[in-house]
Chain A
Amino acid sequence: MTVLADAHRAYRDDLLREGLLISMGVDGLYGRSGAFEQVVEGINAAFSAVGDPDGPEVMRFPPGIGKLQLEQSGYLKSSPQLVGTVHSFTGNDRDHRAMLERIDKHGDWTAEQKTTEVALAPAACYGVYPAIAARGRMAQDGALVDVYTYCFRHEPSIDPARMQMFRQREHVRLGSETQALAFRKLWMERGRAIIGSFALPFEVEVANDPFFGRTGKLLATSQREETLKFELLVPITSKEHPTACVSFNYHRDLFGRAWKIETDAGETAHTACVGFGVERIALALFKHHGFAFKAWPRSVRDVLGL
């Protein structure tokens, strides 16, 4: 693991030195340079070029979701270790003075911080399900939604490709089992084509989410046995441990049940989503083609509009 950790550190140091990422003093939390963002915009443009003709409904959510929505999603059952909740000061003047005194003494100032109604979004698609559910029974062709937001997962790492705050660009399909599976199959082909057009090496494999604890082990093996999740992996800092840059997920009726989303026939909806980790893809591009995108292959710059 030290070899891998060294590779992570070396690439992060390169990115910071080149100014593509900006240190914020916390592992996994970075500013992005203008050049980095141009590449991210290019990745989004390439995604849109393929996905827009499907006519998705565009929804843009802030990087937070309601605490109740988080509870309802079931995420706390499977991945409590990744969740971030927003806290705020709720004391009075006396508490405020006590807090400032503790800060002066470099003590723990968080005692008066209480949870708010806001949690950080663990995935871009979590805003979609309650929004569609609130509309009542879906039309015959279900729903297709385009989302893009910052997500938070509490997993500090020196691997620049494992950020705590990162963006996911997703299409989310809600409908019958057949519709959800057809959507995922289509995007597994499209995902290969898009990443291939970026001239990146990749492979697509069955995967599982990093569920928590012993019950998580059961969830993870079940997820694999049912091939609910596939990942498109690109080697960034390691050939042996390539990085998941795109995921293709079929949730069966997990979210349909959680939010009581119904198809036109009155059945519980099945859902699927494709998620592009835009920072990870950008990091793969910088790794494989160099830190200056003006020197990237012409075909890649054309696809990215750079």
Chain B
Amino acid sequence: MPLPVQARVRTLLKNTGWLQADIETLADDADLYAAGLTSHATVNLMLALEEAFDIEFPDRLLRRRTFSSVDAIAEALVEIGVQKEAA
């Protein structure tokens, strides 16, 4: 069963303390900022994504909305070459 990017992003958000809400209760398109993601937590999330997916976000994606939801993050990752589904 291939694992969509969204699921891998969710794994990274689990038990980090970056969100005030439990990621399990949030939809893929739910606003992570509304769920308590702060600017400093966004920075930590960005670094964690870069490490986990072995990528580097280009400057044009270093924006607030890139990290605004699980879907938005997945879209950005796919845009810079991450496979939609990993085995």
- B40 touching A218, Cβ below 8 Å: no
Find the B residue at minimum CB distance from A225: B64
CB of B39 within 8 A of CB of A221, answer: no
Q: Is A226 an interface residue (CB 8 A)?
A: yes
Binds A, one of B4-12, B21-29, B42-50, B79-87: B42-50
CB under 8 Å from chain B, chain A span 69-117? 74, 77-78
The tally of residues in A whose CB lies under 8 Å from a CB in B reads 15
Q: Which residues of chain A have a CB within 8 Å of any CB of chain B? A: 74, 77-78, 214-215, 217-219, 221-223, 225-226, 254, 257
A74 touches B40 (CB 8 A): yes
Q: Is the CB of B43 within 8 A of A217?
A: no
Q: B62 at the A/B interface (Cβ < 8 Å)? A: yes
Query: In the complex, are the beta carbons of B59 and A77 less than 8 A apart?
Result: no
- B residues engaging A (CB < 8 A)? 38-40, 42-43, 46-47, 56-57, 59, 62-65
Are B39 and A254 touching (Cβ within 8 A)?
yes
Once A225-B63, A225-B65 are accepted as A-B contacts, the answer to whether A254 and B38 lie under 8 Å apart by CB is: yes
Q: A221-B62, A226-B64 are in contact. Are A215 and B47 (CB under 8 A)?
A: yes
Chain B contact residues: helix, strand, loop or mixed: helix
Bound: A218/B42 CA distance, A: 8
Q: How far is the CA of A74 from the CA of B41 in the complex (A)?
A: 11
Instruction: Chain A residues near B64: list those with CB within 8 A.
Output: 218, 221-222, 225-226
Asked if residues A217 and B59 are in contact (CB atoms below 8 Å), the reply is: yes
Query: Please, which residue of chain B has its CB at the minimum distance from the CB of A222?
Result: B64
Q: Smallest CB-CB separation from A258: which chain B residue?
A: B40
Complex: how many Å from CA A35 to CA B57? Answer: 51
Q: Considering only CB atoms, which chain A residue lies closest to B43 in the complex?
A: A215
Chain B residues with CB under 8 A of A225: 63-65
Supply 19 A–B pairs (Cβ within 8 Å), ascending by A. Answer: A74-B40, A77-B43, A214-B56, A214-B57, A214-B59, A214-B62, A215-B43, A215-B47, A218-B46, A218-B64, A219-B39, A221-B62, A222-B42, A222-B63, A223-B39, A225-B63, A225-B65, A254-B38, A254-B40
B46 touches A215 (CB 8 A): yes
On whether the beta carbons of B39 and A222 are closer than 8 Å, the reply is: yes
Distance between Cα atoms of A221 and B39 in the complex (Å): 11
- Minimum CB–CB distance from A122 to chain B (whole Å) comes to 16
Contacts of A257 on B, CB cut-off 8 Å? Answer: 38
Q: How far is the CA of A187 from the CA of B15 in the complex (A)?
A: 40
Query: What residues of chain B lie closer than 8 Å to A77, measured between beta carbons?
Result: 40, 43
A77–B42 CA distance with the chains assembled, in angstroms: 12
- Pair A221/B43 contact, Cβ less than 8 Å: no
- Which residues of A sit under 8 angstroms from B47, Cβ to Cβ? 215
- Which 4 A-B residue pairings sit nearest by Cβ, starting from the closest? A222-B64, A218-B62, A215-B43, A217-B62
**Docked pose: A217 CA to B40 CA in angstroms:** 12
CA–CA, A53 and B51, complex, Å: 53
